[in-house]
Amino acid sequence: MVFSMFSCKPKNTGSAVGADAAAKAYVAPGKYDEFYNFVSGGFSGQMSVYGLPSGRLLRVIPVFSV
């Protein structure tokens, strides 16, 4: 009896979590991000600013206070 097992993964692909993905998202301290995401705080009455692609929280802006 002969038993063999084959993988379904193509041979020329990298892993889903590779070092390239982290290197592309890295922004050195003191450098500027390419894009900025302004996120509403909803009922908290503030806005948050995130740098993209680094994902760093840059600033929380209080917009509304009672």
| pTM recorded for the entire structure | 0.59
Q: How far apart are alpha carbons 66 and 64 in whole angstroms?
A: 7
Tell me the domain boundaries of the chain: 32-65
Q: How many CA atoms lie within 13 A of 58 on its CB side?
A: 18
Q: What is the structure's pLDDT at 31?
A: 85
CB 26 within 8 A of CB 55: no
Q: Which two tokens stand for residue 58?
A: 């840059």
Which residue ranges in the chain fall short of pLDDT 50? Answer: none
Q: Where does 1-66 show beta strands of DSSP type E? A: 35-40, 46-52, 57-62
pLDDT score for 60: 93
At 37-52, the pLDDT tens digits run: 999 887 878 899 999 8
